[in-house]
Amino acid sequence: MRKDLVFGMAGSGGDGIVSAGESLLNAAAAEGYHGMMTKSFGSQIRGGESSCRVRISTEHLLNPGGDLDVAVALNWEDFLKFGAELPVSGSTVVIYEAATKVEPENIPLLGVTPLQVIAVPISEMAKATAGTERAKNTVVLGLIAGWFGIGREAVLAGFRKKLAKKGEDVLAANERAFNEGIKFAEEHPLKAPMTIALSKGAVSGKLMTDGNDMCAAAAIFAGCQFFSGYPITPSTEIMQFFGEHVWKYGGAMLQAEDEIAGIGAAIGASFAGKKAMTATSGPGLSLKTEMMGLASIAELPLVIVDVQRGGPSTGMPTKPEQSDLFAAAFSAHGDVVRPILAPTCVADTFRITVEAFNLAEEFQTPVIILSDQEISQRKETLDPIDTSQFKIVNRLRASATDLQDYNRFKITESGISPISIPGMLGGTYLASGIEHNEDGSPTASGDVHQRMNEKRIRKFEPLHNRRDLFSIEGNPTAPLALVAWGSIAGVCSEAVSIAREEGLNVKLLVPYLVYPIAEGVYREFFASVQRGLVVEQSHLGQFYRLLRMYVDLPKGVESMARSGANPFRPSEIVVVLHRLLAELQHSQAGKLQPQE
């Protein structure tokens, strides 16, 4: 019995691959398993290839897994386009469409011999039972249920719920296709059974959602009443969620004519006293840069979500990457600091989004959330969010005393000044992008500019002591270390667990506050470290370079970086940790010799 299975499926647009993955994930969740699904598409507007990866486990999951246990190819051309995203190994069972007329011994997977290769007449079975090849994905679900013991009853229950409005004929056709898949599996058993252990989890009460919906829901919970943005892959679902739900809570959503108008409207809403948000991806973040500067100098709260994708320019809209960090931190003219937060999974996207609004309100500043395509669009099973644990922060409002002689940008010890909203008697002020004195009047004084820069940057000093925005796993004095942020953190967490089981003394630091750099946290973490890795999905190793700007990293800490759409696997990180350990031991050899 296995505690974990990873399925990877690929086919052409319209084959229903992603739909099959969602049905499998829902069925696994209904049976009490933990599950996670990532999906990937070609960048074509219509048609092209699509794939999904579904990981099902009896234990909590941190990442989508490594090599596939089960690979399903409805056609080889599409499957091969996903390369490293659907890795096949010697322990993989490969199931493919017999209509491709490729013999099992000739499948186009060079350099690897899978555990077992099975040609199945999937299209033929779909047409014979459901009258249409569009039921291929249903046949695949039947094969999975038959061979791997997942979803026999739960998939059928899902069909009955999903297809109820389409009539009994459609439902019956899908049930026949599903049962035909089970029948084929029973008549052609695997050489070595590969079934998952019975679930130990509760079979009800779990959430099934993705990062974009979680982000939007958290924003509404935090009090966001205005969203303005422009559709862009892979962030669009955030705007769609707001459009469907925010009006129920007295809010509004504006789909603007472009990215600049989107952030401009959100800044206007913030000036009017409303918590506001906009969302985009890399190209849109570039367009929003000037307006982010306006929010910084006018000291207006604003949350900006950047769901990162492969870049530069249009890049790879449907693939994850962590290459917008420099843009988020430094794409500003003038001396500007903007807090940057990053979730590591769907579950903590809720907490990070609430925290982003709290920081924006507390420090009267734009705050950037750096998500990525994997987190934003992957689905996870998770427990319901306990919202009672969250404190909601609101901006410091001007009091009656403040308004008697109101200085909107009054220089205070904390750097934070009371803010008014339109309509408050005595609270009128100029909120422009020009440098200003304490009451908001324009100035060209170098002395005033110096003091205002100090004010705007000094207010972020408390962030350097927010250790709750970091997590550390492992022995605090370990000589080996990993640092990882965003979606890669879950991969590294599993790698650390594996490495520690193999006897390695290693620890992991995950920053949820990515910028500004909390130098003290890193100095403490690296104090014991002699070898380590900063792991990220960025060709330039942007976070590694950012750390080196502020922290004296130990000489043995290296960058482990690669471009998007080339996912890391826990096993390969463990291999590098073993190499670092060997280097560390070799470096100590001379020190152990007796002194003459």
Q: What are phi and psi of 419, to 5 degrees?
A: -115, 140
Q: Quick: pLDDT tens for 348-361.
A: 999 999 999 999 99
Same domain, 124 and 221: no
Does residue 594 register a pLDDT over 60?
no
Which of 36-45, 64-73, 104-113, 361-370 is predicted least confidently?
Answer: 36-45
How far from 474 is each of 74, 414, 508, CA to CA, in Å? 43, 36, 7
Close Cβ partners of 269 (under 8 Å, ≥ 6 residues apart): 225, 226, 228, 276
Domain shared by 491 and 533, yes or no: yes
Q: pLDDT at position 164, please?
A: 75
| pLDDT tens-digit series, residues 149-200 | 888 888 888 888 887 778 888 889 999 999 999 999 999 999 999 988 888 7
Q: Judge if 333 and 443 occupy the same domain.
A: no
Amino acid at 390: F
Please indicate, yes or no, if residue 592 is contained in any of the structural domains: no
**What average pLDDT does the chain have?**
94
What would the pLDDT profile of 477-513 be if each residue is shown by its tens digit?
Answer: 999 999 999 999 999 999 999 999 999 999 999 999 9
Residues 264, 347 within the same domain = yes
> Which single residue is written with the structure tokens 């229903």?
16
- From residue 576, alpha-carbon distances to 2, 128, 299 in Å are 26, 51, 45
* DSSP string of 388-407, one letter each residue: GGPPPP---BPPHHHHHT--
Q: How many CB atoms lie within 10 A of CB 316?
A: 18
Residue 401 and residue 335 share a domain: no
Specify if 201 maps to a domain: no
Examine residue 499 and state whether it is found in any structural domain, yes or no. Answer: yes
Q: Are 26 and 208 in contact (CB under 8 A)?
A: yes
| 90-110: b (≥16 Cβ within 10 Å) or e | eebbbbbbbbbebeeeebebe
In 282-386, beta strands by DSSP E:
302-308, 340-341, 366-372, 379-382
Residues 561, 505, single domain; the answer is: yes
Same domain, 477 and 566: yes
- For the chain, the domain total comes to 4
47 pLDDT tier (thresholds 50, 70, 90) = low
Is 105 inside a domain boundary?
yes
| Residues in Cβ contact with 424 at an 8 Å cutoff, skipping those fewer than 6 apart | 398, 403
pLDDT per position as a tens digit, 200-213: 766 666 789 999 99
Read off the tokens for 387. Answer: 């919202």
Q: Is the peptide bond before 320 cis (omega within 30 degrees of 0)?
A: no
The residue to which tokens 């990215």 are assigned: 259
CATH of the domain at 67: 3.40.920.10
pLDDT band at 291 (very low <50, low <70, confident <90, very high): very high
Give the residue from 111, 79, 112, 77 showing the smallest Cα distance to 95: 79
- Where among 372, 389, 406 does a domain terminate? 389
Domain with residue 262: its CATH number is 3.40.50.970
Co-location of 154 and 239 in the same domain? no
Last residue of a domain, one of 406, 431, 459: 459
Are 44 and 20 in a shared domain? yes
Domain stops at, among 459, 481, 502: 459
Is 124 within a domain?
yes
Residue 596 has what DSSP assignment?
Answer: -
Q: How far apart are CA 84 and CA 221, in angstroms?
A: 38
Mean local confidence (pLDDT), 318-325: 96
Pairing of strands 252-255, 480-484: unpaired
Both tokens assigned to 147: 């061979």
Do 349 and 423 sit in the same domain of this protein?
no
The CATH number for 496's domain is 3.40.50.920
323 and 358 both lie in a single domain: yes
Cis peptide leading into residue 422 (ω within 30°): no
Confidence (pLDDT) at 543: 98
Whether 540 shows a pLDDT value over 70: the answer reads yes
Same domain? 134 vs 245:
no
Q: Is 500 contained in some domain?
A: yes
Burial call 408-440: b when 16+ CB within 10 Å, e when fewer: bbeeeeebbbbbbeeebeebebebeeebbbbeb
pLDDT at 109 over 70: yes
Assess if residue 194 is contained within a domain.
no
User: Does the residue 200 lie in any domain?
Assistant: no
Confidence of residue 45 (pLDDT cuts 50, 70, 90): low
In which domain, by residue range, is 270 found? 208-389
Residue 592 has pLDDT above 60, yes or no: no
Question: What does the block give as tokens for 457?
Answer: 């940057």
CB 497 within 8 A of CB 62: no
- pLDDT bracket for residue 586 (50, 70, 90): confident
